[in-house]
Amino acid sequence: TSIPAYYGYYTKGGALQVCVVVGHEPGPIIAHLCDLGPRFVYNANWPKGQLSSIQAAIGACPKNATALLIALVDQPGLGSSTVRRMVGEHRRHPEKILVASYLGRSGHPVVFPRRVFKELLAAPLSQGARYVVQKHLADRILVRTSDPAVVRDIDMPEQMRKIQSKI
């Protein structure tokens, strides 16, 4: 499995703390990562979708956290340089919502500054974090990257195997 590699993208990319939100069958994920040192947060509302995991992460954020970088587990090949770029852009634009992009397409990671945490907690589950991004288009920056992984959407095991064989 490449779960430890995913963790490495974020630590090597400059994330100060890595929080892994787990839900359905968390045991194998925790077993693969526990020795690496992330903070685990259990999302009891995982059937409600991705926004519920973001909300769980916000609830676990340290009081001094200035932002939350949201990345997906199904982004094989995401470079630590992409994470480093997002962290650097946050330092330059701490109040902006930052969305990684590749060839004009937006994707993940996304950085949400603390000032929108309450809105993420109140956002409609059916609309997800996009609700907050759309509400703040004037405060959003698309961060151009050369990393195709930011727009990958892996939903099936055969898609994952195909991508992993190329990286």
Mean pLDDT by 10 residues, the chain (167 residues): 67 80 89 85 93 95 92 77 94 97 94 97 94 96 94 62 53
- Burial class from Cβ neighbours inside 10 Å (0-12, 13-18, 19+) for residue 111 reads buried
CA distance 153 to 137: 23
pTM for this model (two decimals): 0.87
